[in-house]
Amino acid sequence: MKKFNLKKLVAAATLTASVCTSGFVFAKEQVSSVWKVTKGNDSLYVGGTIHILPISEFPLPEQFDRAYKDSDSIVLEAKLPAPSDMEAQQAMLQAMTYADGQNLKEIISEQTYNDLSKYLQGFGADLDQVAHFKPSFIVSMMVAMEAQRSSMAGSGVDAYFAQVAARDGKPQEYLETLEFQLDMLSNLGLGDEDQLIRSNLAYMPQLKEMLTSLIAAWRAGDVKQLEYFVVEKMKKESPASFKTVMTDRNQDWVPKIEKMFGDEDKEFVLVGAGHLVGEKNVLTLLQQKGYKVERL
């Protein structure tokens, strides 16, 4: 059994903290998850991303490369911390740790705690080592471990373009601060911690199949499948989390994207694919404000 390494797992969880679940049906229409948004003579690109993407899925669909090459800068949800960035990892740990000395064992039921302990033992991990972390971070750890075990681990589209832009000297801008994201993630499932852990324990055995199907739908730009398996499932299972993670942020991002019009550079905005499908998604909100949205 592989020995549990807390430091490595924390680094991996930092990169997977905002991961969403996925679907099971492969898309048929071969389009893409990249759109061009236009108003007057100005335009920018918006691309839907996957936050976990194994190296086997590269190269990306050509529309991503085309949009990147035609853009002067990229815009990400937030600045992505490198695994070697100890300051960012410390901020993550502080945000995700119970500040009042509480322990996960005091928050969730005995049965859920025992089931989680048994699951982590399968990776050579001891739940007592991480019981001071909040449930949302425990879930991120579970995803990181399961993705690694199923050969699905990968830093994703956002991290890829952050690296490419750094290499090319292309400016990077952000819709949110890392501090905002950490605060949001640390409070997910607040008051419903037991259900959060139990539902994710149920999903973990299916993670490889779920990620495989999600990636297939994303590559093909299958809006209906992305909406059903990402948006609808999250909305049904946790309406409060859906509002916090999706609806509120979509509405907050639109004015920021609008301010990108009327300047001299062209941006390539990259956000999670779930933000571009479903009711009140970013693209729909822009259309309602008079912007022309077309698939690239």
Mean pLDDT of 195-202: 92
The answer, yes or no, to whether residue 10 has pLDDT greater than 80, is no
Instruction: Kindly report the average pLDDT of the chain as a whole number.
Output: 87
Nearest CA to 282 among 95, 142, 141, 75?
A: 75
Condensed to tens digits (0 to 9), the pLDDT of residues 226-235 reads 998 788 888 8
- Report residue 28's pLDDT band, with 50, 70 and 90 as the boundaries: very low
Nearest CA to 272 among 59, 33, 104, 66?
A: 33
Mean pLDDT of 71-97: 86
The answer, yes or no, to whether residue 172 has pLDDT greater than 90, is yes
Question: What is the 3-state secondary structure of the chain?
Answer: CCCCCHHHHHHHHHHHCCCCCCCCCCCCCCCCCEEEEEECCEEEEEEEECCCCCHHHCCCCHHHHHHHHCCCEEEECCCCCCCCCHHHHHHHHHHHECCCCCCHHHHCCHHHHHHHHHHHHCCCCCHHHHCCECHHHHHHHHHHHHHHHCCCCCCHHHHHHHHHHHHHCCCEEECCCHHHHHHHHHCCCCCCHHHHHHHHHHHHHHHHHHHHHHHHHHHHCCHHHHHHHHHHHHHHHCHHHHHHHHHHHHHHHHHHHHCCCCCCCCEEEEEEHHHHCCCCCHHHHHHHCCCEEEEC
Mean pLDDT of 122-136: 92
- Report residue 155's pLDDT band, with 50, 70 and 90 as the boundaries: confident
Condensed to tens digits (0 to 9), the pLDDT of residues 265-279 reads 999 999 999 999 999
Bridge partners of 268?
45, 74
Mean pLDDT of 52-68: 95
Q: What's residue 2's pLDDT? A: 45
Q: What's residue 230's pLDDT? A: 85
- Report residue 22's pLDDT band, with 50, 70 and 90 as the boundaries: very low
